[in-house]
């Protein structure tokens, strides 16, 4: 959970990915970290965060949708 607050966006994204894959941690904390990453200035980080958020179910998909749409246009 500490890694979700790391200054490095790649570390936060990796932590959220691992927590999702292994079903560990607080889902709300993962979604909060992903929501923060969706606002990253780095388009690659935003896209990877959107992919992970989409895997979080309806709430994550709703958060990811604007980033995914933007990436397609």
Distance CA 62, CA 24 (A): 22
Distance CA 10, CA 66 (A): 21
18-63 per-position pLDDT tens digit: 887 777 667 888 888 888 888 888 888 888 888 888 888 888 888 8
pLDDT(71) > 80: no
User: The whole model's pTM is what?
Assistant: 0.72
Contact of 53 with 31, CB cutoff 8 Å: yes
User: Hey, what are 25's tokens?
Assistant: 């941690």
């Amino acid at each position: 959970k500490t890694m979700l607050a790391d200054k490095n966006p790649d570390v936060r994204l990796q932590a959220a990915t691992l927590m999702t894959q292994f079903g560990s941690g607080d889902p709300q904390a993962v979604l909060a970290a992903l929501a923060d990453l969706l606002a990253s200035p780095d388009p690659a980080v935003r896209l990877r965060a959107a992919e992970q958020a989409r895997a979080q179910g309806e709430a994550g998909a709703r958060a990811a949708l604007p980033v995914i749409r933007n990436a397609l246009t």
